[in-house]
Amino acid sequence: MTVVGIDVAKASLAIALITPAGQARRKRYANTAVGHMELLRWLGRHADGSVHVGVEATGGYQDAVALALHDAGHTVSVLNPAALEAYSRSQLRRAKTDPTDAALIADYVRTQAPPRWTPAPPEMRQLQALVRRLDALLDMRTQERNRLEPSATIVRPSIEATLAHLEAAITAIKAQITAHIDQNPTLREPRDLIVSIPGIGTTTAAIILGELLQITRFASARQLAAFAGLVPHLHHSGTSVRGRGALSKLGASRLRKALFFPALVAMRYNAVLRPFAARLRAAGKPPMVVVAAVMRKLVHQIYGILRSGRAYDPAHA
């Protein structure tokens, strides 16, 4: 099988191709719709048989090219940058340029055979775009609020005007998210299931759906917790190394952030998680450890209700 590695930047694609016979080719195209079509034609000329393409996940810049390759019938794997970095260290690579990164990705695909990526349905991808835009607007509002108090009098009207604009934009995009979910049963039904969990509101449910995309991507609740970066990272070795455990934080940071305040609410009102948090506090666990544990339990509850299709029931939580 021909393998292809693509190092994705905002404006360009660095491509490395390795045929089954070991022949290597390199190319560069623009990361645009025209560039993607040129890439597909180039693959048609030089690929020998079926093609497995590896694309590094780079903050969304890979989405369009990965979708174009998938729609053209190629096998596509969207790769975790941390996995590629670890693989690079294992190969003792010293150079880091776009062409060498593309070659590394191609070699990773050839030796590791990563799983095939399947894009989510359009309505789920649209929801993800909407909730990520909401997240960006909320961050901008926080930044402007932090600037307001210590600002000079002469600039306060400008900051207040920006805050008013951001408030209007946040209100508008929240309404757009609600309308988008209500118009799509594949989103409305899981949203209604998620908000049945005490502690989770409609905005958080939308963010959860936008980040998870499809619950069928995850084989278990533990896998979903790992995706959210809510599994412990232990640092033990032999008899002398006994590092403190911590969250791995290798997963979806937006999902983890979205679950923080719902966990605080769940510690008071969720019939299952309230006594769970109380037991941890009684055992002397630090407050943030308790919150993280409740966040992980919320992930398990979310997984359970989405996989079963049944609303939250404390008797089965």
Q: Residue 9: its pLDDT value, please?
A: 92
The answer to whether 54 and 77 have CB atoms below 8 angstroms apart is yes
Q: For 204-258, what is each residue's pLDDT tens digit?
A: 999 999 998 888 888 899 999 988 888 765 444 455 545 455 555 556 788 999 9
Q: CA–CA separation, 197 vs 205, rounded Å?
A: 10
**Would you identify the CATH topology of the domain 2-112?**
Nucleotidyltransferase; domain 5 (3.30.420)
Q: Are 197 and 312 in contact (CB under 8 A)?
A: yes
Helices 185-194 + 156-182 axis angle, to 10: 110
Question: What residue segments make up the domains of the chain, in order of their start?
Answer: 2-112, 122-183, 212-308
The average pLDDT across 147-156 equals 91
204 and 214 Cβ atoms separated by less than 8 Å: no
Q: Name the band, by pLDDT with cuts 50, 70 and 90, for residue 55.
A: very high
Calculate what percentage of the chain has a pLDDT beyond 70: 93
Q: What is the rounded average pLDDT for all residues in the chain?
A: 90
3-state SS of 20-46 is CCCCEEEEEEECCHHHHHHHHHHHHHH
The pLDDT score that the predictor gives to residue 235 is 45
